[in-house]
Amino acid sequence: MEDFRSKMFTILGTIIVIIVFCVIVWLLFYQESAYYTQVDNANMEKLNSGDMRYEYTLNAYDKNGNMKEVTFKTSRELKEDAYLKLDVMMSRGVKAWEEVSYKELPSEVKEKYNK
């Protein structure tokens, strides 16, 4: 009986470790959401070192229109009033961005910018 309990604790512990590991990997590498924002160079800070010379802090919206403040760095100053699609990860922040047209914005996001 004692041997059975010992094996059960070992198996249960292994399963828990595997589950925790999978959740951590998902959070670090796979959990990603698209957010949309409009460039406002008044919310840009020039940095003095490194390749990423500009840091933006902007309000961004997901496809449902929920707002989130995001901060990201770029190597160049972005075009004023350009629309961006941001790939945002919960654990790492903005992973990538690309310029998009107003037509490409989800309808809930278009309402926020009223063009």
- H-type helices in 1-115, by residue range? 2-25, 107-113
For residues 75 and 90, state if they share a domain. Answer: yes
For residues 22 and 66, state if they share a domain. Answer: no
Give residue 30's pLDDT. 63
For residues 15 and 51, state if they share a domain. Answer: no
pTM for the model: 0.72
Angstrom CA distances, 35 to 6, 26, 57, 60, 95, stand at 48, 19, 13, 6, 11
Please, which pLDDT band fits residue 37 given cuts at 50, 70 and 90?
very high
Task: Please give the tally of structural domains in the chain.
Answer: 2
For residues 21 and 10, state if they share a domain. Answer: yes
Question: Which residues face 40 on adjacent strands?
Answer: none
Joined together, the tokens standing for residue 112 give 């926020």
For residues 72 and 16, state if they share a domain. Answer: no
Main-chain dihedrals φ then ψ at residue 28, nearest 5 degrees: -80, -30
The range of the structural domain enclosing residue 40 comes to 32-113
For residues 37 and 18, state if they share a domain. Answer: no
For residues 1 and 37, state if they share a domain. Answer: no
Kind of pairing between the strands at 44-46 and 67-74: unpaired
